[in-house]
Amino acid sequence: MTSWKRWLRPANRSRALFVAGALTPVMLLFFVFFILPITASVVLAFYRYSPLDPDSPFIGVRNFLNLVSDPVFRKAVRNTFYFVLAAVPVNLLITLPIAIGLDGVRRRWLRDSLRAVYFLPTVAPIVAAAVIWAYLYQPVNGLLNAFIGHLGIPRILWLTSAKWAMPSVIVMSLWQDIGYNIVIFLAGLEAIPSVFYEAAKIDGAGRWHLFRNITFPLLSRTSSFVLVMTMISYLQVFAQMQVMTNGGPHDSTRVLALFIYDSAFRYNQMGYASAAAVILLGVTLLLTLLALWLTRRMSQWEY
């Protein structure tokens, strides 16, 4: 239908000029800063590359083999899964009830103010949030230890013990970003027509029944979207680890993103870091496909 010949006709020339003139610079930027880096990253993963070393030989899958046997990388993968598998379910278990609660608040100003408060931490720079929590978690004069001290509980080394560091970072991360999912769930809830609830109430349905048979199925599309987006974003968690613990103590909070950053920019092993990044890319793509599949499956429930 669209052929070059038709485009070169005089009548279409100004349109063709507009498209070409506008698209060329934009596509150039997309190419240089997105397409090229993605390709280069995959290529780099098969080289031993350091910006300080003039010699960068092709080494096949050696980077990947080295990664698999690197105890720090394995730890980073485990920590990333720990973070995702712990923080994502807790996130959903907190945000959905809060959204349902907010949806039930009848006074508009109260509902909007509460929503704003829950959303507030997500707009603050994540570095600022990490610094504030690092201070709350201070072992000797932090607010948290002072509080549990009042209750007679001994001090906890929140960020400086291998056992507590990850849970502490997870709590901070949840505080920082539950606002997003609350707002998305709330929008999903507001979209459910109230006739459904009224009809069910006339039939004498109880609170649990309303949730189980109306809210839950009609929210399944929103929920699967929230689930997958949260997983993808948590897989890339970086700033709070880098600022609060820098991966420590004993690598207990070293996640994949931090491993990639350190390998590339502290140790200058850019090929090695790219191989790790390619693995992260693979996992992300799998999750994205899962997302597409889930939304398609769930759409049968849509009203």
Partner 1 sequence: MNQARSRGAVGPDAADLFWKVLSLTLLLLGAAVMLLPFLWMLLSSFKTPVEIIRTPPTFWPENPTLAAFSTVLTRAPFFTWMRNSLVVAVAVTALVLFTSSLTGYIFAKFDFPGKQALFVLVLVTMMVPFQVVMIPTYLIVARLHLLNTLWALVIPSAVSAFGVYLCKQFIEGIPTDLIEAARIDGAGELRIFLTIIIPLIRPTLAALGIFTFMASWNNYLWPLIAINDEHKMTIPLALAYFTTSHHGARWDLVMAATTLMVIPVIIVFLFFQREFIRGLALTGLKG
208-267: which residues touch partner 1 (CB under 8 A)?
A: 225, 229, 232-233, 235-236, 238-239, 242-243, 256-257, 260-261, 264-265
Nearest to 173 by CA among 163, 181, 185: 181
- Identify the residue among 61, 85, 120, 153 touching partner 1 (CB under 8 A): 120
Residue 59's contacts (CB-CB under 8 Å, 6 or more residues apart) are 46, 47, 48, 271
What's the min distance (Å) between Cβ of 191 and partner 1? 9
Q: How many H helices and E strands in the chain? A: 16, 0
Instruction: Classify residue 132 by burial, with Cβ atoms within 10 Å: 0-12, 13-18, 19+.
Output: middle
Longest dimension (CA), the chain: 85
Residue 64: CB minimum distance to partner 1, A: 15
**x-or-dash pattern for partner 1, window 7-36, by CB under 8 A?**
x------xxxxxx--xx--xx-xx-xxxxx
Q: How many amino acids of this chain bind partner 1 (CB under 8 A)?
A: 107
Should residue 302 be labelled a site residue for partner 1 when binding is judged by CB under 8 A? no
CA–CA dist 214, 205 (Å, integer):
11
The answer to whether residues 251 and 69 touch, using CB atoms and an 8 Å cutoff, is no
For residues 1 and 93, which CB has a smaller minimum distance to partner 1 in the complex? 1
Q: How far is the CB of 249 from partner 1 (least distance, A)?
A: 16
Contact stretch for partner 1 (CB under 8 A) within 39-47, 69-77, 85-93, 157-165: 39-47
118 binds partner 1 (CB under 8 A): yes
Shortest reach from residue 123's CB to partner 1, in Å: 4
What are the φ and ψ backbone dihedral angles of 47, each rounded to 5 degrees? -120, 155
Question: SS3 for 51?
Answer: coil
Q: Does 117 bind partner 1 (CB under 8 A)?
A: yes
Out of 3, 9, 151, 300, which residue is the one contacting partner 1 (CB under 8 A)?
3
Q: Which residues pair with 47 in a beta bridge?
A: 58
Selected binder of partner 1 within 63, 220, 224, 274 (CB under 8 A): 274
CA 260/CA 278 separation, integer angstroms: 10
Question: In this complex, which beta carbon is closest to partner 1, that of residue 66 or of residue 138?
Answer: 138
Amino acid at the residue 273: A
* Position among 50, 56, 138, 161 found at the interface with partner 1 (CB under 8 A): 138
Other beta carbons less than 10 A from residue 1's beta carbon: 3
Binding partner 1 (rule: CB under 8 A), the pick from 73, 156, 168, 177 is 177
Contact between 53 and partner 1 per CB under 8 A: no
Q: Judged by CB under 8 A, does residue 148 bind partner 1?
A: no
**Residues in 75-104 that interact with partner 1 by CB under 8 A:** 98, 101-104
DSSP track, 233-270:
HHHT--HHHHHHTTT-STTTT--HHHHHHHHHHTS--H
Question: Minimum CB separation from partner 1 for residue 69, in Å?
Answer: 22
The Cα–Cα gap between 176 and 11 comes to 55
Binding to partner 1 by CB under 8 A, coded x per residue (else -) over 149-168, reads x-------------------
Is 119 a binding residue for partner 1 by CB under 8 A? The answer is yes
Question: CA of 286: how far to CAs of 82, 230, 232, in Å?
Answer: 18, 14, 10
Three-state DSSP class for residue 190: helix
